[in-house]
Chain A
């Protein structure tokens, strides 16, 4: 009664993998949060030149710093116009430098707009931002332009207190505006120059209230987390790869062609390896801005593969009379997954794809874009709902069949039931862990306090969940591979080929033809016989 290793496994190997993953997790506790948010307050520079040449860069501090003003009252007194003001932000702060280990840089824009009775923000006001991004790699060289764009952002601001004279000068509460996203941090210093040009006739930047300050929040991944992450990927890639090769060798050694479930498990392994391969190492040396998009695609492929696997696994254990073992049977269930992931892919291409050329682009900035993005997300959400309905229905069916036919089942299908229940249990456990950790990380602000020590759960959450799913795929390939151990009355002196053949016969029976529970079919008998000879 041994179709796959699951029925007679040794846990030692699994424990070793688990311990190493735990080690990574413990290590990531020490890293701190996976990302860091750094606050920047834009320095108000004065562009004295009459015709603004865009080649000039304004530095907020350090040598060659611009002519600064502290407040706009000062500008008022000096008769400086809005068009002559440049908001300059140097990333990072003094005495620090950016590093390729940061992986990405995400900048959020926030306006500090003071409430004035006579100068309120109009409904649906758009801020038009003329922004330039430049970089350099040492403190002395010239700035090199990286991107320049004229962007529009919708101001969603509301004033929480009553609109009276007493409250003049208080700030509106404005939504965070996505501002910039760069997929690689290849340079040491970045400089942002932001202008808010006013053109009354074209209604540009009119009615946006009285802007007091521009604040930026720059989010990047912590170098420590990146290193732990890379190390983990580098360790996991060969482990999954080896088990995958081992698994496929087992399959090919069998005399029968692989069944659908085996193929799907193999595909799951491939997608896991694909996501594992630490190509990010290259981002340390090369300026590959598409790495962020590539990462998204890899994750998308893995997730859709995992979801398809669950459907097919359930379907193959559905002990009904239907002939399965063909991919086309599952189009109804896999369809939503593919369609949903495709929608998300299109959405991602619209956002991060365009950002490859214009880092300031945001699909949420325009009304049409927002609607389009929402449409994609809603469609993907509907697909996800459909999928889970299908999945739940199938699981329910399997359990109904099991309970209904348990008494009438031959002893060998007990293994099938055990196998199914085991995966259900492990999957549920993994999913529950993911959800629990997700909630914790959202609620708990990412850290726990233990006395004086602050323990970062976020990093551990990411490495932990990532490791857990790796372990999951590893375990599936390991446990559901055809076993070469034998039971019963078969002689132990058989050669390997016939041995695996014998098991493959049983395996076929377990996975597919067992669905004909009313009795072993002729096919089964034949394969079994053939294998034994």
Chain B
């Protein structure tokens, strides 16, 4: 399964990728996949379809693929949302790990599955989770915007699509819809049959559950005279940052899977993803992130792992308003990695005295000011910092 695309690939989906996959699709589908019937078959069909959505040769496959009961057009709309969602996941990842040694680099994401070096570290588990969450989040939002034809209402449990079922008992939540489609798309990427695939699926699920966990309940009373004799409650999406924060906390408490004990069971389980997965990681709740390998040393540059190292990274210090984690970023990124901190004084032209409208219009003056930025540098190389610049300006580069 070396031709499997990974999350980063979806997010940076473009024409060149399409071309690349075109050649891949000429290979017949693996025979192993063709004998898996029913739903499993459709999973495996989705995978190439994401990358060759506009690709004609597969048009006939759509009729077989009836899991959405919609045409390729709808699938295409899903795919673009999936792409946007995966991107927002990665963006959030970058934000969350902005002051960590590992800062969610794109190269690492691609390497994660591509070079056959499918690492299953703490960090990749976070990437899987946040991407799945991003996809689910975006799908849910776009569903509320009316982008999809049968969003929320294709629940066979309630009744027929649209019409009667909707009038009788309403439709399922948009979040459910996001979850479902996200599952179909993101989990389909993971078509390996080893423990790593099972692990990634678990982390995807954890990401989706993170959205559910951060949902906020809101209620409205609308009884007689607005009293609470009747109230309607609903769950609303938080901003995606909350999901990121939640998953970051989960990342810190991620559990390492004891492979020697579980390898056998986990290895077999991937054949039957849904049910057996929970058996394999039976002891671990579905909301927790899990990993197999300890993280490599992110301080050092490691070409084979695609790590850039922390040399040259920016860090922050000296601002009272910052959190502990941020204030120690220079120590973590530079000093602890055997690097030193260099200061650079930069002139920044920024806007000030701004007048804002709620959207789109900003009337600003241009101000120039000097800020001090801090970077990690190797010891014994590069220029020595001037001692007189020690007087710390308001810390953060972006500030003012």
Cβ-neighbour of B225 out of A166, A169, A344 (below 8 A): A344
**Interface membership of chain A positions 408-421, coded 1 if the CB is closer than 8 angstroms to chain B and 0 otherwise:** 00000000000000
Give the interface segment out of B25-33, B161-169, B247-255, B284-292: B161-169
**A66 surroundings in chain B (CB, below 8 A):** none
Quick check: is B146 within 8 A (CB to CB) of the other chain? yes
Q: Which residues of A contact B161 (CB under 8 A)?
A: 95
Evaluate contact between A215 and B169: CB separation under 8 angstroms.
Answer: no
Cα(A247)–Cα(B373), bound, Å: 90
Residues of A within 8 A of B321 (CB): 162, 164
Do A32 and B169 have beta carbons less than 8 Å apart? Answer: yes
Binds A, one of B11-19, B231-239, B338-346: B231-239
A476 at the A/B interface (Cβ < 8 Å)? no
Contacts of A528 in B (CB 8 A): none
A82: CB under 8 A from chain B?
yes
Contacts of A92 in B (CB 8 A): 166
Known contacts being A41-B144, A165-B396, A438-B229, is A210 close to B218, with CB within 8 Å?
A: no
Say yes or no: B170 contacts A38, CB within 8 Å.
Answer: yes
Query: Could you tell me if B220 and A32 are in contact, using CB atoms closer than 8 angstroms?
Result: no
In the complex, A365 has a CB within 8 A of chain B: no
How far, in whole Å, are A200 and B356 apart by their CA atoms in the complex? 10
A451 contacts the other chain (CB 8 A):
no
A31:B234 contact, CB within 8 angstroms: no
Whether the Cβ atoms of B357 and A442 lie closer than 8 Å is no
- On whether the beta carbons of A81 and B224 are closer than 8 Å, the reply is no
- Residue A36 interfacial (CB < 8 Å): yes
Find out whether the CB atom of B169 lies under 8 angstroms from the CB atom of A224. yes
Write out the residue numbers on chain B whose beta carbons fall within 8 Å of the beta carbon of A60: 145-146
**B359/A85 in contact, CB under 8 A:** yes
Q: Given the interface contacts A90-B146, A205-B357, A211-B359, does A41 sit within 8 Å of B141 by beta carbon?
A: yes
Interface residue ranges of A98-147 to B (CB < 8 Å)? 99, 101-102, 106, 108, 110, 112, 116, 118-119
Question: Is A34 on the interface with B (CB-CB < 8 A)?
Answer: yes
- Residues of A near B169 (CB, < 8 A) are 31-33, 36, 222-224
- Residue B354 is within 8 A (CB to CB) of chain A in the complex: yes
The reply to whether the CB of A230 lies closer than 8 angstroms to some CB of chain B is no
| Complex interface residues of chain B between 238 and 279 (CB less than 8 A to chain A) | 238-239, 241
B147 at interface, CB cutoff 8 A: yes
Closest residue of B by beta carbon distance from A198 = B357
Q: Is A208 an interface residue (CB 8 A)?
A: yes
Task: Give the distance in Å from the alpha carbon of A371 to the alpha carbon of B236 in the complex.
Answer: 30
**Closest B residue to A350 using CB positions:** B225
Give the contacting residue for A81; candidates B148, B149, B218, B360; CB below 8 A: B360
Stretch from A2-10, A72-80, A320-328, A485-493 at the B interface: A72-80
**Interface residue? A445 (CB, 8 A):** yes
Inside 8 A of B224's CB, which chain A residues have their CB? 296, 299-300, 344, 348
User: Is residue A351 within 8 Å, beta carbon to beta carbon, of the partner chain?
Assistant: yes
- A433 and B72 alpha carbons, distance in the complex (Å): 53
Inter-subunit contact B357/A206 (CB<8 Å): yes
Q: Is the CB of B218 within 8 A of A94?
A: no
The answer to the question of A436 belonging to the interface, with a C-beta cut-off of 8 Å to chain B, is no
The answer, yes or no, to whether B153 is at the interface (CB within 8 Å) is: yes
Pick from A95, A196, A219: contact of B149, CB below 8 A.
Answer: A95
Which residue of the partner chain, among A39, A42, A93, A462, contacts B236 with CB atoms under 8 Å?
A39
Interface check B383, CB cutoff 8 A: no
CA–CA, A222 to B171, complex, Å? 10
B144 close to A215 (CB less than 8 A): yes
* A61 B222 Cβ-Cβ under 8 A: no
B150→A95 contact, CB < 8 A: yes
Number of B residues contacting the other chain (C-beta, 8 Å)?
Answer: 59
B390 at interface by CB-CB < 8 Å: no
Is B361 at the interface (CB under 8 A from chain A)? yes
Q: A92 CA to B174 CA in the complex, in Å? A: 13
Is B151 interfacial (CB 8 A cutoff)?
Answer: yes
B379 within 8 A of A: no
B388 at the interface (CB under 8 A from A): no
Residues in A neighbouring B218, C-beta threshold 8 A: 176, 217
B62 to chain A, nearest CB (A): 19
**In the assembly, what is the distance between CA of A438 and CA of B222, in Å?**
14
Most A CB within 10 A of own CB, among B170, B220, B326 = B170
Given A43-B146, A165-B396: A348 in contact with B225 (beta carbons within 8 A): yes
**Complex contacts, B398 vs chain A, CB 8 Å:** 165
Check if B361 sits within 8 Å of A81, measured CB to CB: yes
Q: In chain B, what residue has the closest Cβ to A208?
A: B358
Indicate if the CB atoms of A82 and B144 lie closer than 8 Å.
Answer: no
Contact of B232 among A35, A61, A351, A438 (CB under 8 A): A35
Binary flags per residue of B286-323, CB closer than 8 Å to A gives 1, else 0? 00000000000000000000000000000000000111
Asked if A76 contacts B146 (CB within 8 A), the reply is no
Q: How far is the CA of A38 from the CA of B177 in the complex (A)?
A: 13
CB-based nearest B residue for A213: B141
> Are A219 and B222 in touch, CB under 8 angstroms?
yes
Given contacts A38-B171, A41-B145, A296-B225, contact A210 B358 (CB under 8 A): yes
Q: Out of B163, B233, B236, name the residue touching A446 (CB < 8 Å).
A: B233
Are B220 and A224 in contact (CB-based, < 8 A)? no
Q: When chains A and B are docked, how far (Å) is the Cα of A110 from the Cα of B145? A: 14
User: Smallest CB–CB gap between B94 and chain A, Å?
Assistant: 13
| Shortest CB distance B85–A (Å) | 13
- A112 touching B239 by the CB < 8 A rule? yes
The answer to the question of A274 belonging to the interface, with a C-beta cut-off of 8 Å to chain B, is no
- Closest Cβ of chain A to B36, distance in Å, is 26
Residues on A with beta carbons closer than 8 Å to the beta carbon of B20:
none
A219/B220 contact (C-beta < 8 A), A210-B359, A442-B228 known: yes
Residues of A within 8 A of B217 (CB): 445
What chain B residues lie within 8 Å of A118 (beta carbons)?
Answer: 354, 356
Q: Which residues of B contact A57 (CB under 8 A)?
A: none
Q: Across the two chains, which residue of chain A brings its CB closest to B233?
A: A445
Is A176 within 8 A of B220, CB to CB?
yes
Taking the closest CB of chain B, its distance from the CB of A182, in whole angstroms, is: 12
Does A171 interact with chain B (Cβ within 8 Å)? yes
A108 and B357 in contact, given A38-B171, A95-B161, A348-B225 (Cβ under 8 angstroms): no
Whether A196 and B358, one on each chain, are in contact in the complex, defined by CB atoms closer than 8 angstroms, is yes
Within 8 A of A (CB), among B351-382: 354-362
**From residue B163, how far is it (CB to closest CB) to chain A in Å?**
7
Residues from chain A with Cβ under 8 Å of B118 in the complex: none
Q: A95-B153, A219-B232 are in contact. Are A39 and B174 (CB under 8 A)?
A: yes
Give the distance in Å from the alpha carbon of A116 to the alpha carbon of B358 in the complex: 11
Q: How far is the CA of A219 from the CA of B221 in the complex (A)?
A: 11
CA distance A386 to B359 in the complex (A): 52
Docked complex Cα distance between A438 and B231 (Å): 10
Complex CA gap A365/B169 in Å reads 32
B152-195, CB under 8 A of A: which get 1 and which 0? 11000010011100111111011000000000000000000000
Would you give 28 A-B contacts (Cβ < 8 Å), ordered by A?
A33-B169, A33-B232, A34-B230, A38-B170, A43-B145, A72-B359, A72-B360, A76-B362, A82-B361, A96-B163, A99-B167, A101-B167, A112-B239, A116-B356, A164-B322, A170-B241, A196-B358, A198-B357, A198-B358, A211-B358, A217-B218, A219-B232, A222-B168, A223-B167, A224-B169, A296-B224, A438-B229, A445-B217
Which residues does A use to contact B, with CB under 8 Å? Answer: 31-43, 60-61, 72, 75-76, 79-82, 85, 90, 92-97, 99, 101-102, 106, 108, 110, 112, 116, 118-119, 162, 164-166, 169-171, 176, 196, 198, 200, 205-206, 208-211, 215, 217, 219, 222-224, 296, 299-300, 344, 347-348, 351, 377, 438, 441-442, 445-446, 462
Given contacts A32-B169, A95-B149, A95-B150, could you give 14 more A-B pairs where the C-beta distance is less than 8 Å? Answer: A33-B232, A38-B152, A40-B144, A61-B145, A80-B360, A82-B357, A93-B144, A95-B153, A171-B239, A196-B359, A219-B232, A344-B225, A351-B225, A442-B228
